[in-house]
A and B are shown apart, each in its own frame.
Chain A
């Protein structure tokens, strides 16, 4: 396996992290003003579901979280925490989840919404946002819809990456 194939999952996730910002810029005004565009988290969760024993994904999630926090927030603790924690929990849960695509999609959606709730918690705790109850529910609805949209759109890609090009596989996985 060439080096590019071993790092393909990381390259795709980095592209997804960059693309989320670009999509938010182009689509937020016309589609969902209150929705989140967290394609990176969807990718990490799907990779974790299909590659549940690859703990290299955890430090990759941490690194991507660091980049996303630095670029999109200017402070650390949102993606830097949620990405590795949700990846770890998904890997632990993966063995109990049936091998059906839609159940895995559902897990990705739950992770997407947990990220939304975590962000809300941080904003409220650190006075970084004054979100009313109605705005919270509207945002949750919009995030749910956008989550379904992005999961349906990208699930096949992440599954293929996880199955064909696992991130830095161990020698045991190769043979």
Chain B
């Protein structure tokens, strides 16, 4: 022990390691708890965001060109698919309008200003992404000035892809559903079982695979069953599509069911996103 304290190099390394671990511990916990980043962090983030917007301009032209070629090649099959859906659209729109008006009348009768299903949408673009492996973070070009707040749900390509974890003035960070961060907030979800009962649970992820966990009863879910947000937890509204049940397996101990979910949203390469701002329920 005496030798240890006499060796200045070892003491220096020891102090540095302790400082690094302390820095990591404090900043990781601070990120989870605080509502917004520190002032200096905001300045750095805004500077990087401006640079990202400028650099993305030529990159998006190149990427857009490549995507256009791909789109042209897919156009015929997409056209056939859309023609089939157009037939149903008129009927669905008419029914939707009638249900909306009925819903508004019922809310008025009950003196309800808003419910779990009411929300505003804020559209934005992805301007950057964490370059390191396993870091499932996107940076979008909408921030607190556009009404974005921490923990709001984010959608892209028809389904939920993640939630806001940090908000700056003009940018925000989105943590994808596929994150394996054990400290991350999880979406409370629900799905209708084959017996008609509503099953509640949360969405978690392992190695990029989404699963429906903490299921509240033993009802089975068929493959293809749609999984929606339940609105519980107070952050996201009810009824946002998360994905479809792909298969049900047993966990590594063979005790409980692991219901695997195929995400409905564009998680791999989202470019346009929609932040969902829940209206306060009465």
Contact surface of A with B, Cβ cutoff 8 Å: 14-15, 17-26, 28-30, 33-39, 66-67, 70-78, 80-81, 116, 119-120, 122-123, 125-132, 134-135, 139, 142-143
Contacts and interface: CB of A to CB of B under 8 A. Distances in A.
Nearest to A79: B132
A80 B37 CA distance: 17
Contacts of A67: 44, 47-48
Interface stretch (B27-35, B114-122, B213-221, B224-232): B27-35
A63 B120 CA distance: 39
A14 B52 CA distance: 11
Nearest to B30: A75
Most buried by A among B27, B51, B133, B182: B133
By secondary structure, the A interface counts as: helix
Contact of A72 (B55, B63, B132): B132
A61 to B, nearest CB: 15
B23 A77 contact: yes
B56 to A, nearest CB: 5
B131 A128 contact: no
A110 to B, nearest CB: 17
Contacts of A36: 131-133
A73 B23 CA distance: 14
25 contacts: A15-B51, A18-B128, A21-B131, A24-B128, A24-B129, A26-B63, A39-B131, A70-B48, A71-B139, A74-B165, A74-B166, A75-B27, A77-B23, A77-B27, A77-B28, A81-B20, A119-B135, A126-B25, A127-B182, A128-B183, A130-B182, A132-B207, A134-B207, A139-B134, A143-B133
B273 interface: no
Interface string B51-65: 110011001100100
Contacts of B55: 15, 18-19, 22
Given A21-B129, A36-B132, 6 more contacts: A25-B129, A66-B44, A71-B128, A75-B30, A125-B24, A131-B134
B105 interface: no
Contacts of B181: 127-129
Contact of A28 (B24, B37, B63, B129): B129
A135 B207 contact: yes
Contacts of A135: 134, 207
Interface residues of B, number: 47
B241 interface: no
Interface in B108-150: 126-135, 137-139
Nearest to A72: B130
A36 B37 CA distance: 25
A-B complex: 6 closest residue pairs judged by Cβ atoms = A29-B269, A21-B128, A77-B24, A37-B131, A20-B131, A75-B27
A74 B37 contact: yes
Nearest to A130: B180
A125 to B, nearest CB: 8
By secondary structure, the B interface counts as: mixed
B27 A76 contact: yes
B173 interface: yes
A127 B24 CA distance: 12
A23 B63 CA distance: 11
Interface string B201-218: 000001100000000000
Contact of A18 (B52, B132, B133): B52
B41 interface: yes
Nearest to A77: B24
Most buried by B among A14, A19, A22, A34: A22
Interface string B256-282: 000000000000110000000000000
A71 B45 contact: yes
Contacts of B28: 75, 77, 126, 128
A120 B165 CA distance: 21
B131 A74 contact: no
Nearest to A80: B23
Nearest to A29: B269
Nearest to B50: A18
B24 A22 contact: no
B52 A21 contact: yes
A28 B183 CA distance: 25
